[in-house]
Chain A
Amino acid sequence: MASETNQQNEESLQITQLLEAEKLALENSQYFEQILDTTISICLGTSQSHFRLQMQCLNMIHKFFYLRKIESVELRRKNSTKLIDLLDYFIIQTQDQLPNYLIIQKCIEILNSVYDLVFVEMIKTPNENQWLKISKIRDFIIDQWPTSYPLLKLNKETDLSRSIGCKNAIIKLIGKVIQTHLPSPSNDSEEEVDVSTSMISENHIFLNSQTLNTQAQSLLDSLLDYIAGDVLITTPVFSTIISTLMVLFKTRPKFFSSKFLSFMLGYESQLKRNPHFEEDKLKVRMIRRFNDRLDKCFISFLLNRGFISKDPNLRSRFENKFRYLVDKAAALKQRGILDDSLDEEEDEEIKRIKRRKLEIQKEQEDKGNSFFYNESEIARSNDYKSIYSLINPQNKLSEFDMSTISPDILSSMVIAALTNASTEKLVKGLNIVFNRYKHLSVAPGTQWKNGVQENQNNPQFQEQDGNVSIKVEKQEHSEESDDDYDPTNDSGTRSMVKQEYGGVKLEGQAHNGSDYDSNLMDQSTSQRSFPTPGTHEDDGEEELNNGAYILPMPKQLELSQKKEHLQLIINNFIDLSSKQNGTSAVSVTQQADLKKVAISNWDDDSWVLMLSRLATRGLNNEELSTVIRETLFDHFKTDLKGKIDGIIEWLNEEYYCSLIKKDEQNLDVYIHYCTLVLDNLIPFLEASDRKIFIRLLSELPYLTKDMIWKIRSLCADPARSKLGFQSLLYLIMFRPPVVQFCIGLLKDIYQDSGNNEGLQNECRNYLKKYAPEEQVA
């Protein structure tokens, strides 16, 4: 306790000294450089736990540069490059440690204030390393727009109105970068007046005007596109963009004026759709009103100050819009801000455009662009609720204790939910949960950070020479905490982890929450309670404590239920067959390693193999196998000719499986389904189906006499007799085991043909050639 007080006193003393130094630097600029150097080294040398001290240092630098309390541009410019390392430390180097909001906001504003100064410095005294470093910081920050950086993300559209302070700072930075990277309209060589790429000499070793111009144009377009986007922008952000563009309107008119004016002329808040998940109608109506008012002020500014007086057509369009906005505001005022009837009275055109935008939004949602309120891939704490929750934390549902529902009902609810959820939505949700687990497992620094911070107030917490030791142990519950266990509260946690930081020494780290080593528990050392995943659930706490929790066995399904589920699986496979096209890529290595696997490439017919294997070898229940076979046959029956590949695949599997059974080799199933196939195919064969039918006869592994004799109807049909005889000819020539069946069939047809001379002649010819020993007249 005493050391903590000492630390606080020391920090307060340092803050006081910094305030005095700031005053001195502002009063006497000759001390500025020295004070700045000291402040930067204090700031870099202070650990993140001394937030107030860091913040004070940054506040001072912010005043010097951003608020321009140091009036001399020359002095600020000369010292601007010193801040690069500081910005790099807070923005780039510590980005994985969940940055502090205010520190980041200050840093972005400081970056904004020094960017053009560093640019000038790079022209005067080129230093490529410094330029690369500040460019990296610049790009990193600009890439964060318009996310909720540095706050954890929720979802794309809610994030548009979060972290507004930092968002606005980034917009201003973008404005500064655009201004600096585009050439100045004047040829003024005084860099302090208007810093731009016009100052870069042609032979500069690393600054390329062309590249910088392109980057600026692209940033400019992104700002304008943001205004023109579908979603209603919150007023503070809208105001900041207008204010930033206003500066560019003056300083870079050549690149910008016409675009800016047309975007502002086209802005119509009524056409913007409400942000997803924003349910407060009054709030949305107010944002529209505020944005419209600013739009009106902007147009009034343009009209009254003569910016568009040279173009009567443009002026007239702006005047029309001005009148429209005045009328709209008057109508709203007359009705009262709480009256939402104006929302309902939109004209047909606006309604049509809005409907279209909603359709686009729906399409985007279907593509997985936005589904959940909380899409953060970082869990807010390491408990199951934080890992699995995808809804708004303010939603009452998030407070509901699911453990009060019986497991049966719960599983029915889960099954119903899974059945109704689209694949994209389910995949997105699972990916978010997966990433949260991943983050917790790969970022122990983040995971343990909460514990570290709190331990600084704990007398048992040990910090020596930068190495922090935390002993965490399994301990008996205190009686008071048993009933009120709160997973988010450290005081109620059961397990303790012993861990050392800094020394890279981990003793019994409980990554997964359940596999810690109880031998490492040490009652005598300093203790630190720490929540570990897996020990947070109220259910089964006692079992966990006894180390004997066993997951209950699921209930056995009835045969009818099994059939029902199996039918679902089969139907899913069959549905899959109608959707897929093409072959999935599989790496060569995998193919080489898994030569014996039946399916190494998933193609259009793989599902047949899966189901036929399941029917023949995967199920130990004939009834269930029959379900698969019947469903398969029913599926093929719909188009036997078109699905001949699948039929051959399936029947071959049936034959092979019957033969490899050692105890009984029974071909009944195979023969049954072959007969069914032939019975359903032959009546519908046409003369042109020769290839299909002969292929079937050639690839069926085993043919019985009954099967062969089914060809008789083909031979007897005048229109298809050619097909029948060609099939028999093929069998006689290429399948010796069935030759006698074919000869027998031919003889039988010959004898029964009666007056049909054509048929008799055909049979006679075949019999003479392939069975000369038979006596035919």
Chain B
Amino acid sequence: MEAHKVLRSAGYKVRSYGTGSSVRLPGPTIDKPNVFPFTTPYTKILSTLKSQDTKMHKLTGVLEMTQRNVDVKKAPERWPFFNQPPQRLPDSEWSALGFEDELDFDIVVTCEERCFDSVVDDFLARAYFEGGDTLTGRTVHCFNVEIRDEHQTALIGGKAILKLADLLSECHRASLEWMNSKDENSDLLDVVPFEDRIPDAITKWQAEHPNLPLLYCVCYH
């Protein structure tokens, strides 16, 4: 959610999801986590947390994170897994931002390898089960930036994800620059298309962020 906030502030169109079966937050004790179904409004989550041991929640940063989330979006959503009941906000919440459907993404960034695996698995499942019937072949570039789930690390990770998004945007901008150029031959001869720029861009990013191991693959839906 930190990444969602940072990217949105930078002007990107963003949606965020969880990949688990529900939203799990630290509870009053280690063996009693707070479990909320997706789409539970953050305001409700916040009030639940406040009704518990607030000192401990402040210490772990959960209270602060939830407060931040209230400002970012209405409620947590679940990734639209293939053939599973949707647990997300109505499309009307997002259509104003220009999202055409639930998978209308150019880039997906996950923050845990487990989540990356779930998303890739979902796209593989779509390729297998939907096959040539409804699969349009839209491309989505999936990345994982491994961030530990705690407040301070999330702040650092959010900035790193923003940097990654900026690099990818720059690749896209540079590759399309020739479109408005009068000298079309520059494209014909030495243009480097967007997809060709990605490996070098992410290598550069990884060298600058050695503690955030990256994963990448291209998926279709």
Chain A residues with Cβ below 8 Å from B139 are 168
Q: Which of B124, B131, B206 contacts A251 (CB under 8 A)?
A: B131
In the assembled complex, the CB of A362 is this many whole angstroms from the nearest CB of chain B, namely 26
In the assembled complex, the CB of B128 is this many whole angstroms from the nearest CB of chain A, namely 5
B121 at the interface (CB under 8 A from A): yes
Is the CB–CB distance between A337 and B214 below 8 Å?
A: yes
A51-B179, A338-B210 known; A235-B199 Cβ under 8 A = yes
Is the CB–CB distance between B124 and A457 below 8 Å?
A: no
A52 to B218, CA, bound (A): 28
Contact flags (1/0) for A133-163 with B, using CB distance below 8 Å? Answer: 0000000000000000001100000000111
Q: Which of B113, B117, B132, B187 contacts A101 (CB under 8 A)?
A: B187
Is the CB–CB distance between A168 and B195 below 8 Å?
A: yes
B169 at the interface (CB under 8 A from A): no
Interface residues of A in 222-275 (CB under 8 A from B): 234-236, 239-240, 242-243, 246-247, 249-251
A80 to B90, CA, bound (A): 35
Is the CB–CB distance between A163 and B193 below 8 Å?
A: yes
In the assembled complex, the CB of B53 is this many whole angstroms from the nearest CB of chain A, namely 34
Interface residues of A in 437-479 (CB under 8 A from B): 449-450, 453-454, 456-457
A109-B137, A337-B213, A454-B183 known; A300-B206 Cβ under 8 A = no
Closest to B117 in A: A297
Chain A residues with Cβ below 8 Å from B55 are none
A162 to B211, CA, bound (A): 29
A381 at the interface (CB under 8 A from B): yes
In the assembled complex, the CB of B48 is this many whole angstroms from the nearest CB of chain A, namely 33
B168 at the interface (CB under 8 A from A): no
Chain B residues with Cβ below 8 Å from A55 are 179
B135 at the interface (CB under 8 A from A): yes
Chain A residues with Cβ below 8 Å from B92 are none
Q: Which of A112, A161, A165 contacts B137 (CB under 8 A)?
A: A112
Q: Which of A67, A68, A301, A453 contacts B125 (CB under 8 A)?
A: A301
In the assembled complex, the CB of A48 is this many whole angstroms from the nearest CB of chain B, namely 8
A109-B137, A457-B182 known; A243-B199 Cβ under 8 A = no
Is the CB–CB distance between A176 and B132 below 8 Å?
A: yes
Interface residues of B in 114-143 (CB under 8 A from A): 116-117, 120-121, 123-125, 127-129, 131-139, 141
Q: What DSSP secondary structure best describes chain A's contact surface?
A: helix
Q: Which of A105, A112, A168, A234 contacts B199 (CB under 8 A)?
A: A234
A163 to B191, CA, bound (A): 10
B216 at the interface (CB under 8 A from A): yes
A298 to B182, CA, bound (A): 45
Q: Which of A234, A249, A456 contacts B182 (CB under 8 A)?
A: A456
A194 at the interface (CB under 8 A from B): yes
Q: Which of B120, B214, B220 contacts A240 (CB under 8 A)?
A: B220
Is the CB–CB distance between A66 and B121 below 8 Å?
A: no
A107 at the interface (CB under 8 A from B): no
Interface residues of B in 175-195 (CB under 8 A from A): 179, 182-185, 187-191, 193-195
Is the CB–CB distance between B195 and A165 below 8 Å?
A: yes
A293 to B134, CA, bound (A): 26
Interface residues of B in 202-221 (CB under 8 A from A): 202-203, 206-207, 210-211, 213-220
Is the CB–CB distance between A100 and B199 below 8 Å?
A: no
A124 at the interface (CB under 8 A from B): no
A290 at the interface (CB under 8 A from B): yes
In the assembled complex, the CB of B3 is this many whole angstroms from the nearest CB of chain A, namely 20
Is the CB–CB distance between B121 and A297 below 8 Å?
A: yes
A280 to B204, CA, bound (A): 10
A280 to B201, CA, bound (A): 12
Q: Which of A172, A246, A282 contacts B207 (CB under 8 A)?
A: A282
A235-B216, A235-B217, A449-B185 known; A250-B129 Cβ under 8 A = yes
Q: Which of A51, A113, A243 contacts B184 (CB under 8 A)?
A: A51
Is the CB–CB distance between B132 and A68 below 8 Å?
A: no
Is the CB–CB distance between B196 and A52 below 8 Å?
A: no
B71 at the interface (CB under 8 A from A): no
Is the CB–CB distance between A247 and B128 below 8 Å?
A: yes
Chain A residues with Cβ below 8 Å from B6 are none
B72 at the interface (CB under 8 A from A): no
Is the CB–CB distance between A301 and B183 below 8 Å?
A: no
Closest to B127 in A: A246
Is the CB–CB distance between A193 and B133 below 8 Å?
A: yes
Is the CB–CB distance between B216 and A290 below 8 Å?
A: yes
Chain B residues with Cβ below 8 Å from A109 are 137
Interface residues on B, range: 35 or more
A261 to B19, CA, bound (A): 28
Is the CB–CB distance between A290 and B217 below 8 Å?
A: yes
Size of interface on A: residues with Cβ below 8 Å to B = 74
A669 at the interface (CB under 8 A from B): no
Contact flags (1/0) for A33-67 with B, using CB distance below 8 Å? Answer: 00000000000000011011001000000000011
In the assembled complex, the CB of B146 is this many whole angstroms from the nearest CB of chain A, namely 8
A240-B218, A283-B200, A290-B215 known; A250-B191 Cβ under 8 A = no
Is the CB–CB distance between B136 and A67 below 8 Å?
A: yes
Contact flags (1/0) for A309-350 with B, using CB distance below 8 Å? Answer: 000000000000000000000001100111000000000000
Closest to B209 in A: A337
Is the CB–CB distance between A179 and B117 below 8 Å?
A: no
Interface residues of A in 280-299 (CB under 8 A from B): 280, 282-283, 286-287, 289-290, 293-294, 296-298
A164 at the interface (CB under 8 A from B): yes
Is the CB–CB distance between B200 and A243 below 8 Å?
A: no
Is the CB–CB distance between B179 and A52 below 8 Å?
A: yes
B198 at the interface (CB under 8 A from A): yes
A282-B206, A293-B217 known; A236-B190 Cβ under 8 A = no
Is the CB–CB distance between B132 and A194 below 8 Å?
A: yes
Chain A residues with Cβ below 8 Å from B198 are 164, 236
A475 to B129, CA, bound (A): 69
Chain A residues with Cβ below 8 Å from B218 are 168, 235-236, 239-240, 243
Closest to A175 in B: B132
A51-B184, A66-B137, A112-B137 known; A380-B215 Cβ under 8 A = no
A357 to B75, CA, bound (A): 54
Chain A residues with Cβ below 8 Å from B195 are 164-165, 168, 236
A97 to B108, CA, bound (A): 37
Chain B residues with Cβ below 8 Å from A164 are 193, 195-196, 198
Q: Which of B124, B136, B199, B213 contacts A283 (CB under 8 A)?
A: B199
Is the CB–CB distance between A453 and B184 below 8 Å?
A: yes
In the assembled complex, the CB of A383 is this many whole angstroms from the nearest CB of chain B, namely 13
In the assembled complex, the CB of A287 is this many whole angstroms from the nearest CB of chain B, namely 7
In the assembled complex, the CB of B7 is this many whole angstroms from the nearest CB of chain A, namely 22
A417 at the interface (CB under 8 A from B): no
Q: Which of A67, A250, A286, A380 contacts B131 (CB under 8 A)?
A: A250
Chain A residues with Cβ below 8 Å from B202 are 286
A109 to B136, CA, bound (A): 10
Chain B residues with Cβ below 8 Å from A414 are none
Is the CB–CB distance between B182 and A453 below 8 Å?
A: yes
Closest to A180 in B: B132
Chain A residues with Cβ below 8 Å from B183 are 450, 453-454
- Some 20 contacts from A to B, beta carbons below 8 A apart, are A67-B136, A101-B188, A102-B179, A151-B193, A165-B195, A179-B132, A194-B132, A236-B195, A236-B199, A239-B219, A243-B124, A246-B128, A250-B128, A250-B131, A289-B213, A293-B217, A301-B121, A301-B128, A337-B210, A454-B183
Q: Which residues of B contact A (CB under 8 A)?
A: 113, 116-117, 120-121, 123-125, 127-129, 131-139, 141, 146, 179, 182-185, 187-191, 193-196, 198-200, 202-203, 206-207, 210-211, 213-220
Q: Which residues of A contact B (CB under 8 A)?
A: 48-49, 51-52, 55, 66-68, 98-102, 105, 109, 112-113, 116, 151-152, 161-166, 168, 172, 176, 179, 193-194, 234-236, 239-240, 242-243, 246-247, 249-251, 280, 282-283, 286-287, 289-290, 293-294, 296-298, 300-301, 304-305, 332-333, 336-338, 380-381, 393, 449-450, 453-454, 456-457
Other A-B pairs, 9, CB within 8 Å; known A100-B188, A236-B199: A98-B188, A101-B188, A152-B188, A176-B132, A235-B216, A336-B210, A338-B210, A449-B185, A453-B182
Q: Which 3 A-B pairs have the closest CB atoms?
A: A164-B195, A98-B188, A246-B127
